Amino acid sequence: MTYLAVPIAAENLEQAKEFVKTALAAGAGMLELRTDYLENLSVPMVGKLIADTKTAAGRKLPVIVTCRDKQQGGAKSHPLKLRIDVLAGALKAGAEYIDFEYDNFAAMENQEKIRVALSQSGKGRIILSAHNFQTRFENIARLYRRIQTAHPAAIPKLVYTANHINDCFDAFDLLHVTSGERIIFCMGQAGLISRVLAKKFDAFLTFASIDEKTATAPGQLTIEQLRRRYRYDSINLETQLYGIIGSPVGHSLGPIVHNACFGDAGADKLYLPLLVDGGGPEFEKFMGNILARKWLGFRGFSVTIPHKENALEFIRQKQGFVEPLAKKIGAVNTIVITADGLLKAYNTDYAGALDAIASTLGSKAGLKDMPAAVIGAGGVARAIVAVVCDAGAKVTIYNRTAKKGEKLAAEFSCCAAPLDELRNLEAKLLINCTSVGMYPDMNASPIPKQYIKKGMVVFDTVYNPPETLLLKQAKDAGAKTISGMEMFINQACGQFKLFTGQNGTPKVMGEAMKSAL
């Protein structure tokens, strides 16, 4: 059982009541009363806070009382003596748990006071915590043992900042080799997955905030995100893991659509955002970390900017299977790890784009000899150029970095031109494969509106927002439009099939996407 613990970081008792009410309504399974946030902190005030909280809960709801040292992330500089008195008072007032810093517990006089308070309370327990806000612990396993030795009945809590997703594996390894009540996770955006996976490892708790404003640590998710987006309630030891590897990935709708479909299909699967900063070496290290730990349960990945080509290279190196289409495109957007550990790589962008274009034109045959302009020469452009060239369109690639456009054009035996040549545009099909116009720069368009003509088909691969400025301008000019959302749902359905063997449900994906956007 992993508690979903919500920190209550209120400055006064009135505010605390509000926060507690909201946390309970959102499904908190445990509350952490962060008394270090309270103004004019006193022992009786904490007693009242605990009593109010228990009354508001109206059910058995465990409470942790924390009065964090400023040096370990506390909100205010309360004197150590007051902080210990608060914890002792909290035990007397019925708190099930107190959280005290292991470093301070190590000092004999502090330890004595805490031990006396614990023995007088009878049922109260202690969480002994260690935090590193900068980086990984030098030796997390040794620190864990030291905490256990200092007070075997304590629940060890080890929390550190992951500066890269690869830093999370120290936490996972420790969770894997230990059992019972322990709290181990990483802070920061790169540590996000460790907060979700705490449940898969049967950790004692994971924290989630009421909303983004009340988060008490970097990278903390909200209860809503954890429960809705990351299927928290259904995670268990056997849950198979998937995710989108990219940088950035925070904006990706992959977790929203795939988790919605996993939920709809009743699959014991979870899809995570996997922020892999850096290039090929970091990608390789990440995949190496995953493959060395079969017990993590990762079974597949979507791959996005900037790793689609790194993924192809990696699977080739590992002598995995690469579908011919992905080889031809030169980019992989899907990796599957089979039950016996084999790696398989695919590209579902191709079929996703083709279906989106064909459904607007009536058929793929409509592309034959059609003059087509592709703006951009990155990962998504590769798949799009392959689609339109294969279908016999007369393709010109326009790219900001002209050399890159020329290189892609040479690979697919089509033409390339610099961006300013768009003023002579004669194409019937125009496809934006750049990120121009994507959230948050939604007032940008990759092409001046006067170049868009009536009767053109304009396809924007950008899907956030679903209707970009380019698509609005195209509609105004009397052109037909294709939204990136259509391609996104098509390619995600292709991935879902590879991940589960079942067809994805475009309706479920579309609804999840629309409500997220």
142-150, 154-162, 282-290, 483-491 -> range binding ligand NAP (CB under 6 A)? 483-491
Half-sphere exposure of 17 toward its Cβ, with a 13 Å CA cutoff? 8
Q: Are 517 and 484 spatial neighbours (Cβ–Cβ below 8 Å)?
A: no
**Is 104 near ligand NAP (CB under 6 A)?**
no
Question: Does 216 engage in binding with ligand NAP (CB under 6 A)?
Answer: no
Distance in Å, CB of 55 to ligand NAP, minimum = 49
Judged by CB under 6 A, which of 491, 495, 500, 505 binds ligand NAP?
Answer: 491
How far, in Å, CA of 266 to CA of 104, rounded?
47
Q: Does 404 bind ligand NAP (CB under 6 A)?
A: yes
Kindly tell me which residue out of 7, 191, 297, 484 binds ligand NAP, with binding defined by CB under 6 A: 484
- Judge contact between 499 and 339, C-beta under 8 A: no
Nearer to ligand NAP, 171 or 332 (CB): 332
Written as six digits, the tokens of 408 are: 């892609």
Say which residue the tokens 């002579």 belong to. Answer: 424
Catalytic residue among 54, 78, 85, 131: 131
76 contributes a contact to ligand NAP by CB under 6 A: no
| Contacts (Cβ under 8 Å, ≥6 apart) of 166 | 282, 285, 286, 289
Angle (CA) 361 472 250, round 5°? 95
Q: What part of residues 117-146 is at the interface with ligand NAP (CB under 6 A)?
A: none
CA geometry: angle at 27 spanning 516 and 220, to 5°? 60
CA distance 332 to 315: 9
Of 341-360, binders to ligand NAP (CB under 6 A) are: 349, 352
* Known catalytic residue at 173: no
- Residue 210, burial from CB neighbour count under 10 angstroms (0-12, 13-18, 19+): buried
The yes-or-no answer on residue 131 being catalytic is yes
H or E element that contains 207: strand 205-207
Min CB(345)–ligand NAP separation in Å: 16
Residue 255 is a binding residue for ligand NAP (CB under 6 A): no
Choose the catalytic residue: 200, 269, 307, 308.
Answer: 308
Span near ligand NAP by CB under 6 A; candidates 26-34, 43-51, 282-290, 372-380: 372-380
Binder of ligand NAP out of 137, 169, 242, 488 (CB under 6 A):
488
Residues 276-335 that bind ligand NAP (CB under 6 A): 305
- Report in angstroms how near the CB of residue 254 gets to ligand NAP at its nearest: 10
Residues of the chain by 3-state class (helix, strand, coil), percent to 5: 45, 20, 35
Dist CA 382 CA 198 (whole Å): 38
Q: Binding residues for ligand NAP, how many (CB under 6 A)?
A: 25
Catalytic one among 349, 355, 428, 460? 349
251 an active-site residue?
no
Q: Which residues bind ligand NAP (CB under 6 A)?
A: 305, 349, 352, 376-381, 399-401, 404, 433-436, 438, 461-463, 484, 487-488, 491
Give the active site residues. Answer: 131, 157, 308, 349
